[in-house]
Structure 1
Amino acid sequence: MLNDRVIIVTGGAGGIGRATALLLADAGARVVVSDLSDSGEETAAAIRERGGQASFVKADIGREADVAALVDETLSIHGRLDGAFNNAGVEQAVLPLHELSIEQWEHALRIDLTGVFLCIKHQVRAMLAGGGGSIVNTASALGEVAIPRAAEYVTAKHGVIGLTRAAALEYGALGVRVNAVLPGIIRTPMIERAIEHPDFSAFFDKLLEHHPIGRFGQPPEVGEAVKWLLSDAASFVTGAMIAVDGGYRVL
Structure 2
Amino acid sequence: MSAQRFTGKSIVVTGAAQGIGKDVALRAAREGARLLLVDRSPLVEDVAREIVEEGGQATAMTADLETWSGNQDVMARAHRAHGAIDVLITNVGGAIWMRPFQHFDERQIEAEISRSLFPTMWGCRAVLPYMLDQGRGVIVNVSSIATKGINRVPYSAAKGAVNALTTSLAFELGTRNIRVNAVAPGGTTAPPRKVPRGADVPTERDKAWMQEVVDQTIQSSHMKRYGLLREMAAAILFLASDDASYITGTILPVGGGDQGMG
Range into which the TM-score falls when normalised by the shorter chain: over 0.9
For 1:17-43, what per-residue CA distance to the aligned partner results, in whole angstroms no more than 9, with x for missing partners? 000011111111111100010001111
Q: Are 1:211 and 2:221 matched, yes or no? A: yes
For residues 97 and 206 of structure 1, what CA distance do their matches in structure 2 show? 16
Corresponding letter in the other structure for 1:46: E
Secondary structure at the counterpart of residue 7 of structure 1? strand
Q: Are 1:15 and 2:29 matched, yes or no? A: no
Q: Report the number of matched residues.
A: 245
Deviation of residue 206 (structure 1)? 4.6
In structure 2, the partner of 1:155 is 157
Secondary structure at the counterpart of residue 189 of structure 2? coil
Q: Are 1:183 and 2:172 matched, yes or no? A: no
* Contact kept? 2:98, 2:213, Cα under 8 Å: no
Q: Are 1:221 and 2:225 matched, yes or no? A: no
Cα RMSD after superposing both structures: 1.8
Q: So what's the TM-score if we normalise by structure 1?
A: 0.92
Among candidates 104, 122, 129, match of residue 126 of structure 2: 122
For 1:163-204, what per-residue CA distance to the aligned partner results, in whole angstroms no more than 9, with x for missing partners? 0011101112111100000101111346xx89x933322542
Secondary structure at the counterpart of residue 227 of structure 2? coil
For residues 130 and 187 of structure 1, what CA distance do their matches in structure 2 show? 38
Corresponding letter in the other structure for 2:8: D
Q: Which moved more, 1:129-138 or 1:93-102?
A: 93-102
For residues 45 and 91 of structure 2, what CA distance do their matches in structure 1 show? 16
In structure 2, the partner of 1:246 is 256
Among candidates 57, 63, 71, match of residue 59 of structure 1: 63
Percent identity over paired residues: 31
1:96-175 residue pairs with structure 2 within 5 A?
Answer: 96-143=100-147, 145-147=148-150, 149-175=151-177
- Note the residue ranges of structure 2 that are not aligned, 5 or more in a row: 197-201
Corresponding letter in the other structure for 1:162: A
Structure 1 residues 168, 203: closer, same or farther in 2, change over 3 A?
Answer: closer
- Note the residue ranges of structure 1 that are not aligned, 5 or more in a row: none
**Richer in helix (by share):** 1
* Contact kept? 1:141, 1:184, Cα under 8 Å: yes
Secondary structure at the counterpart of residue 242 of structure 1? strand
Q: Which moved more, 1:109-118 or 1:173-182?
A: 109-118
Q: Are 1:24 and 2:28 matched, yes or no? A: yes
For residues 57 and 252 of structure 2, what CA distance do their matches in structure 1 show? 27
- Runs of 4 or more consecutive aligned structure 1 residues displaced over 4 Å after TM superposition: none
